[in-house]
Amino acid sequence: MPSDDDPGHGDASDADERGLPTVLAVDDDQDLADTYAIWLRDDYDVRTAYDGESALETIDDAVDVVLLDRRMPDMSGGEVLDRIREAGYDVRVSMLTAVEPDVDIVDMGFDEYLVKPVTREDVVDVVERLLARADYDDDVQEYFAVSEKVATLEAELSPEERSESDEYQRLADRKTELEDVVDEELMEMQDFEDAFREIEG
């Protein structure tokens, strides 16, 4: 568990007093998790955890965004993500990992996927994007998450690989279904154009 000296340590009362969104940075590389906390701490209340069990002990309903390493000993980021979703936390999650994405990401419940190494700008931007989506309804949230996965796989897989992948095709079909559901709602959002540039850009 984080100590009082950790860059990302902050208790719930401190978070309430500052009135800032709360980010949980999870990485078994302690220096890396602490670096994320340093990058974010001026604008957010940041908590750090250095393994999966500590992450699950640290998360609560006050956490808005989780930055989650995928490859960790004992409990992988994928397992932590499953536990977070099973617990019903209303939190946005970005995998932040050295693991190159493949079709195995299709059924993972993350909202964004960043491949290390990442810059301070990368980390700040992903937190801002995920917080901006926090008030969207479930269909819009799913649309953004599915669109992120489609874009991630399109960047990694060749057209031939995509055409041969049942998982990718299922994901692309779901994106099309969701576009019909959320089209009117997205049109009503003030940041409609920015939201689409974020996904399609």
Q: What is the pLDDT of residue 199?
A: 60
Considering the domain architecture, whether residues 72 and 143 belong to the same structural domain is answered as no
| Mean pLDDT across 180-193 | 67
- What percent of the chain lies above the pLDDT cut of 90? 67
The pLDDT value recorded for residue 171 is 95
Orientation angle between helical segments 166-188 and 138-156, nearest 10 degrees: 130
Q: Are residues 94 and 177 in the same domain?
A: no
Q: Assign residue 89 a region: left if phi > 0, alpha if psi is -120 to 50, beta otherwise?
A: beta
Residue 143 to residue 177: CA distance in whole angstroms: 9
What's the pLDDT at 61? Answer: 96
In the chain, the N- to C-terminal Cα span, in Å, equals: 38
| Domain match, 100 and 182 both | no
Residue 79 lies in domain: 1-134
Last residue of a domain, one of 109, 134, 159: 134
User: Are residues 49 and 87 both part of a single domain?
Assistant: yes
Q: What pLDDT, on the 0 to 100 scale, is given for residue 25? A: 98
Same domain, 11 and 63: yes
| Rounded Cα distance, 20 and 65, in Å | 12
Total domains present in the chain: 2
Quickly list DSSP for 141-175.
HHHHHHHHHHHHHHHHS-HHHHHT-HHHHHHHHHH
Residue 8 maps to which CATH number? 3.40.50.2300
Residues 77 and 161 in one domain: no
**Same domain, yes or no, for 74 and 122?**
yes
Cis link prior to 117 (omega < 30° from 0)?
yes
pLDDT in tens, 25-83: 999 999 999 999 999 999 999 999 999 999 999 999 999 999 999 999 999 999 999 99
